[in-house]
Amino acid sequence: MSKKVCHITTVHPPFDTRIFYKECRTLSQNGYDVTLIAQHDRDEIVDGIKIVPLPKVRSRLQRFLGLDILAFWKAMKQRAYIYHFHDPELIILGLFLKLLGKRVIYDVHEDVPRQVLSKYWISKGFRAIIAKIVELIESFASYIFDGTVGATPQIASRFPYDKAVVVQNFPLKDELILELNTPYMLRPNFVGYIGGISIIRGIFEMVRAMESLPEKLNVRLVLAGSFSPLEIRDEVSQLSGWKKVQFLGWLSRNEIRELLDKLKIGLCILHPTANYRVSYPVKLFEYMSAGIPVVASNFPLWKEIVEGNQCGICVDPLNPEEIARAIEYLITHPDEAQRMGENGRKAVMEKYNWESESKKLIELYRKILSS
């Protein structure tokens, strides 16, 4: 039986952490011949994975009108046995592949219908209707596809139980742990946020929290990521707390590791949208993996992780003063903060790691190959 597989994304970059570093590399290490089709500037082989490039586009319209068709054409040229796609807009591509007798897996990173409800670029009057349509399409297609990979139990529960598997986006063991860590007590009072920077991810609340912190603590907020939309950077930079912000822009994985080695606290202050309430933010586990105490939104699912493992403080994500109080507490109680960071790292090493999750991905592939 052929073990050639093809992963496809028109949205994510080729070296997306979940797609490339976790799933593709895991499959390659387990004897699969892996190809990844993604927006990239050249053909190349990295870590044994063949990358087939798609042209880079700047708009959603360009993706919908041309890139999906090109991705389908390039996918067919690979003559793979299993096709594994990562974007909901590729569902139609997946259905065509099924018509041609291929085995198809849909990897659902987000609860897309709930995500639609908070998309700023969709008119509010149409969000509920579009969310329902997306949910119906996903449900219909999932009965035709050979497998569905859900990034959380909540996501996987929406699909046929005999075809769905939960493969949570936990970090690789030691991925973000440096060989030579800067001792926690010697680090500056840097509070960090790593990831997409947007309104619903709490950028305004984080900056406003900086306004409430005493000057004598000399706390700085370090941002690493990209603003979406770009215009909100101009707006948030008008806040008085911005003078305590250091914006680094997008960082590579190595640069992120170096940054985490300097931080005292990691922030994960996402708004209580329907999607975020039931999602596992990768950054939360990355902070924990690096031994950094976290200040996170007080969603029940997150409280179970953060407070259950005593690795941080949960707060109302819409309350800058409460966020500031949590930051101040951890800065002024360094021994306890260090202990929380150590608890977080231990929890990742024992429970919340990719190595334990990857076994479920491999088992799904084995099941499809033997069907």
CA distance 101 to 302: 41
Q: What is the CB neighbour count within 10 angstroms for residue 167?
A: 24
pLDDT by residue for the chain (371 residues), tens only, comes to 569 999 999 999 999 989 999 999 999 999 999 999 999 999 999 999 999 999 988 776 667 678 999 999 999 999 999 999 999 999 999 999 999 999 999 999 988 898 888 777 778 888 899 899 999 999 999 999 999 999 999 899 999 999 999 999 898 887 666 555 789 999 999 999 999 999 999 999 999 999 999 999 999 999 999 998 999 999 999 999 999 999 999 998 889 989 999 999 999 999 998 888 888 888 999 899 999 999 999 999 999 999 999 999 999 999 999 999 999 999 999 999 999 999 999 999 999 999 989 999 999 999 999 98
CATH superfamily assigned to domain 184-350: Glycogen Phosphorylase B; (3.40.50.2000)
How is residue 87 written in tokens?
Answer: 């974007």
Q: What is the pTM of this model?
A: 0.80
Q: Please confirm whether the linkage preceding 160 is cis (ω < 30° from 0).
A: no
Per-domain residue ranges of the chain: 4-170+353-370, 184-350
Residue 88 per-residue DSSP state: G
Taking every pair of Cα atoms in the chain, the longest distance, rounded to a whole number of angstroms, is 66
| Identical topology for domains 4-170+353-370 and 184-350 | yes
Q: Which residues pair with 202 in a beta bridge?
A: none
Please state which CATH class domain 4-170+353-370 belongs to.
alpha beta
Q: Are 63 and 10 in contact (CB under 8 A)?
A: yes
Radius of gyration of the chain (CA): 21
